[in-house]
Structure 1
Amino acid sequence: MLQTDPSPTNQHINNNVHLRIQNLTNLMRNIKTYYQEVLQQLIIINLPNVLLTGKDHQEKV
């Protein structure tokens, strides 16, 4: 059985860019792990850049 990353997500991040990027990084890692281990598929598309998304969360990236 697949277990996702047990590290907790940060809540109440408000405008803390570091915590937002950390949450997005954990999310992307878990998505990639799910695709590889459960679906047996390799993601070949470019995934969103968590640094840009985390810094500019109000803008479309």
Structure 2
Amino acid sequence: MEEVITSFDKILLLTKEETKAVPIGEADEDDVHERFKTALVGKMLTIEPFNREAFKQTI
């Protein structure tokens, strides 16, 4: 997880408000790790309009 935070720091410009940490408890941490196992982050590099819902269903 630390390496993900480090790589985001290199490409994101955050305000002071956005850099504040949100504390989570141990029980929450397990839930977060479970949900991130199936998370997908990406960006469509197109100037053409596309149906976001259809894209999400296809992916």
TMscore range, shorter length: under 0.3
Higher Cα radius of gyration: 2
TM-score normalised by structure 2 residue count: 0.25
- The structure, 1 or 2, with the larger RCO (C-alpha pairs under 8 Å, 6+ apart) is 1
TM-score normalised by structure 1 residue count: 0.25
